[in-house]
């Protein structure tokens, strides 16, 4: 099977993020123009810094017509923790928008995680997602779906166990002071729910992602390289910098 991913390589991570944000903003404006509203999924992590910075500055978006969903969150993580993805999204996205969103559906990992999966899963089932902003992990994960990822569950969200490679990445990015502080579980949007999005925009910078980019964009589609499933999506774009594309 020939990959359907549209890949572009940029001189650095800022330009890659700017291009992802430009396309995302255009797709959001198109959805609002056609249907009066847009539904998006917003990712987190160091790979999304530049994309979100440019997206919040995009012109011509009526954010009051945009509903956003949260991609993943650690189980048991208080919102005050530096690694909280709710905190990340508030600081880097929601609070920086020129107008308030119609809604932002955060994942709360502090209570019963199975109940939270059911709650937010029931919400997202009501919406067709126009744009999913995402990244690819060092182990090839998509959201927190570590290998071997579940390609088959129809649940929109699920509780997942984080493998050591994923946990080491979170520590390496500076979110935690030691590996023992990195949670072992998270609530993640499922692979099939991500793949329901009309468009998926992946920003994947840095040399530490080069092997994952090679395996997921150029290798076979397999649960051992979760983001490889993106090869089957008809409207998926991947924005790389020279470092992350170095093994292609």
39: Cβ contacts below 8 Å, ≥ 6 apart? 31, 66, 67, 68, 69, 127, 128, 129, 130
Mean pLDDT of the chain: 96
Confidence of residue 1 (pLDDT cuts 50, 70, 90): low
Q: Where are the domains of the chain?
A: 6-241
Per-residue pLDDT at 173 exceeds 90: no
- pLDDT tens string 2-12: 889 999 999 99
Q: What pLDDT does 146 receive?
A: 95
pTM comes to 0.96
Q: What pLDDT does 2 receive?
A: 80
Among the residue ranges 100-109, 126-135, 170-179, the one predicted with the least confidence is 170-179
Q: What pLDDT does 224 receive?
A: 97
CA distance 86 to 70: 8
CA angle at residue 127 from 152 to 27, to 5 degrees? 100
- pLDDT tens string 203-243: 999 999 999 999 999 999 999 999 999 999 999 999 999 99
Confidence of residue 187 (pLDDT cuts 50, 70, 90): very high
- Tell me 225's DSSP state: B
- pLDDT tens string 59-93: 999 999 999 999 999 999 999 999 999 999 999 99
Q: What pLDDT does 115 receive?
A: 98
Strand segments, DSSP code E, in the chain are: 6-10, 38-42, 66-70, 72-74, 103-105, 131-134, 157-161, 185-189, 199-204, 236-241
CATH no. of 6-241: 3.40.50.1360
- pLDDT tens string 105-159: 999 999 999 999 999 999 999 999 999 999 999 999 999 999 999 999 999 999 9
Rg (CA), the chain: 17
Q: What pLDDT does 172 receive?
A: 86
Confidence of residue 57 (pLDDT cuts 50, 70, 90): very high
**Residue 138 phi, psi dihedral angles, 5° rounding:** -60, -30
């Amino acid at each position: 099977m020939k990959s359907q991913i549209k890949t572009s390589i940029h001189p650095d991570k800022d330009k890659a993020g700017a291009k992802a944000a430009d396309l995302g903003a255009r797709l959001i404006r198109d959805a609002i123009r056609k249907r009066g509203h847009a539904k998006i999924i917003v990712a987190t992590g160091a790979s999304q810094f530049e994309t979100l910075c440019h997206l919040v500055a995009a012109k011509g978006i009526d954010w009051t017509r945009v509903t956003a969903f949260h991609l993943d969150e650690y189980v048991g993580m208080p919102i005050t923790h530096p690694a909280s993805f709710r905190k990340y999204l508030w600081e880097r996205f929601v609070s920086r928008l020129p107008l308030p969103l119609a809604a932002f559906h955060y994942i709360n990992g502090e209570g019963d995680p199975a109940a939270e999966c059911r709650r937010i899963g029931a919400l997202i089932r009501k919406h067709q997602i126009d744009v999913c902003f995402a990244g690819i992990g060092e182990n090839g994960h998509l959201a927190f779906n570590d290998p071997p990822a579940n390609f088959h569950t129809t649940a929109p969200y699920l509780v997942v166990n984080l493998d050591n490679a994923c946990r080491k990445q979170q520590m390496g990015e500076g979110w935690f002071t030691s590996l023992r502080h990195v949670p072992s579980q998270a609530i993640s949007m499922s692979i099939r729910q991500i793949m329901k999005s009309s468009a998926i925009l992946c920003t994947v910078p840095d040399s530490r992602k080069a092997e994952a980019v090679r395996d997921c964009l150029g290798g076979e589609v397999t649960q051992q390289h979760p983001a490889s499933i993106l090869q089957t999506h008809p409207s998926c774009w991947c924005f790389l910098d020279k470092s992350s594309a170095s093994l292609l």
